[in-house]
Amino acid sequence: MNRPTSLLLNAAHALDHLVLLVFASAVATIAIEFGIDRWEDLMPYTAGAFIMFGIGSVPSGRLGDLWGRRKMMLVFFAGTTVSCIAVALAQNPIQIAIALTIMGAFASIYHPVGIPMLLSATKTPGMTIGVNNLAGNMGLAIAAILTGFMVKYFGWRAAFILPAVLSACMGLLFARVAPEELHAPGKKKSNTQPMPRQITMRALTVTTIASTSGALLFNFTTNGNTELFRERFAGVISDPATLGMLLACVYAVAAFSQVIVGRLIDRISMKPLYLGVVLSQILLFVIAAQSSGWMLFFCALGFMAAVFGAIPFLDAVVVRYVDDRMRSRVAGIRIAISFGVSGVAVYLLGPIVKASSFETLFFVMAVIACCTAFTVTWLPSERRIKDALLAQQ
């Protein structure tokens, strides 16, 4: 794989997360235009995007393995362009819900296709995953700051048109520089020793459960942080562009945790490292529940670093336990389960905050993190993996 293709695959990860977060960043402004009194009442309309983001990963992964990952990435760029324009043209909540759902379907392509494509030739998967996830979460930072400025100066519809233009340009460039695949990944021969089935199934079960709870936290935080900052910074900062810059700073700084974690995955045992990251989430969510103003800002840096820092483990498990010929399908199934379930988080976010408060939401997230920590303890240890491989020889 040439360097321009690798750079475009990382940039596509940023684009994937960017387009899914624009709505949450502009929801208060959109609610006003559509005559809806509270932004919380508009959040359920975006649930379809995140449900399709999960469910669509299954056919996306299958097509990536059996039809071709390069072809599927071209579909990703084209579909993202069209769906962003459709959201910008929506005239009521129902239309915007339909357009967002279509966007989620195309956004589902990247994770089971783009990441395995990027990892297919690397010798340092942890670092590659860390850099790729850093790029993805830079998309969150860009979404926060871009949407804040676009809403302030050009309106919320322009915040969707700009990503559409970026997607079209990236798609054309990808078609030009990405090398053609001689064979679809699923039709190639493997030259690596397969992992024992029992170990593989246990690891994938653990990572599927952990990724589901992790995706719940990811969706609760990234979709709720804009309004969280608006509420907890009341009386301190009210300008949407400034709040967007603060949130972008949180995402940008916290995203570097994934590079650090990715580098550590290549060097030390995965299980204790993963457990340590998840345990830190619990403490930070409890502290953030009682914080406001600048104290909340620093807490947000911490809990977003912990949420982002847990993500590289999920792809690392797939790389370690699954042959490249079927990684897209396995990743697609895992993502479908985790994001399909966690799509409910987007639907429940508004009602939970409306009925209680962000404080209650933080305590709910702390409980979810406890469940993740318990699940991670069942991940096979490095010694057990080595013993199983020796016994198989």
pLDDT value for 194: 64
Asked if the structure places residue 237 within a domain, the reply is yes
Asked if the structure places residue 121 within a domain, the reply is yes
Asked if the structure places residue 357 within a domain, the reply is yes
Asked if the structure places residue 218 within a domain, the reply is yes
With a CB cutoff of 8 Å and minimum separation 6, the contacts of 294 are: 236
**Centroid of chain to Cα 255:** 12
Place of tokens 């995203």: 255
Q: What total number of domains does the chain contain?
A: 1
If you ran DSSP here, which 8-state letter would residue 115 be given? Answer: H
Residue 30 CA to residue 44 CA, distance in Å, equals 13
Instruction: Output the domain CATH number for residue 383.
Output: 1.20.1250.20
* Cβ 344 vs Cβ 231: under 8 Å: no
**Along the 393 residues of the chain, how does pLDDT read in single tens digits?**
688 999 999 999 999 999 988 998 888 889 999 988 888 788 888 888 888 988 899 999 999 888 999 999 999 999 999 999 999 999 999 999 999 999 999 999 999 999 999 988 778 888 999 999 889 878 877 887 888 888 888 999 999 999 999 999 999 999 999 998 877 787 776 656 566 778 788 888 888 898 888 888 988 888 788 888 888 888 777 787 788 888 888 888 888 898 999 899 888 888 899 999 999 999 999 999 989 889 999 999 999 999 999 988 888 888 877 777 788 888 888 888 877 776 666 667 777 777 778 888 899 899 999 999 999 998 887 676 666 656 665
pLDDT value for 192: 61
Q: CA torsion angle for 340, 346, 348, 349 (degrees, to 10)?
A: 150
Asked if the structure places residue 332 within a domain, the reply is yes
* Cβ 307 vs Cβ 299: under 8 Å: no
* Cβ 235 vs Cβ 106: under 8 Å: no
Asked if the structure places residue 340 within a domain, the reply is yes
* Cβ 307 vs Cβ 214: under 8 Å: yes
Asked if the structure places residue 355 within a domain, the reply is yes
**Domain span including residue 309:** 3-179+194-392
Enumerate the H helices of 238-326 as residue ranges. Answer: 240-265, 270-289, 293-309, 311-321
Q: Which amino acid is at 243?
A: L
Residue 75 CA to residue 307 CA, distance in Å, equals 29
Instruction: State the CB neighbour count (10 A cutoff) for residue 383.
Output: 9
What is the reported pTM?
0.79
Asked if the structure places residue 186 within a domain, the reply is no
If you ran DSSP here, which 8-state letter would residue 120 be given? Answer: T
What is the phi/psi pair of residue 326, to 5°?
Answer: -130, 20
